[in-house]
Amino acid sequence: MNPRRQGIFILVVVPLILGTTAIASVDDAQSFALQAAEPYVREGFQVREDYWGGDLAAGEKKAVRQQLFKGNEYWFWLGTEVGHARISVHIYDKDGKLVEQPDSWQKGHYAAAHIVPTSTDSYFIIVSIEESPEERTHWALVYGFR
């Protein structure tokens, strides 16, 4: 490759490839979250199209605040594409009290939390990368209700 073409390659093509990889990883995390949701759809849960995501270091946590309605039942599903990561998702009320159902679960790079709200209010969904071989681990959260 002549130096001019090499320069163009470095300036234009490499960032494009890197950018595509980064986007694909968050999308991959979302597809894992949706895989976790799939069995629940057959039980009548409507899964919202939007999702929330990003990347976190091992041990880091983040919160998603969410308005929930009494009468509905919600599941939140968290996924990552990093196979050896361990992730978790939990639901707290405004006062910081754990309010999820005991059938909430975590398994490697999937986790899910279940709530039947006892009041209409906003709640905190806390996502965490507990362990990961990667410096930063992509995650995605989806939710459904019925």
Q: Which amino acid is at 28?
A: D
Query: Which residue number, 124 or 134, has a Cβ lying nearer to other proteins?
Result: 124
3-state secondary structure at position 140: strand
Query: Closest approach of Cβ 8 to other proteins, in Å?
Result: 26
Footprint on residues 14-73 left by other proteins (CB under 8 A): 27, 30-31, 34-39, 41, 46-52, 54, 61-67, 69-72
Question: Rounded distance, CA 52 to CA 141, Å?
Answer: 5
Query: Which residue number, 1 or 30, has a Cβ lying nearer to other proteins?
Result: 30
At 54, phi and psi to the nearest 5? Answer: 165, -150
Query: Which residue number, 10 or 15, has a Cβ lying nearer to other proteins?
Result: 15
3-state secondary structure at position 49: coil
Query: Closest approach of Cβ 3 to other proteins, in Å?
Result: 35
Residue owning tokens 């709640």: 123
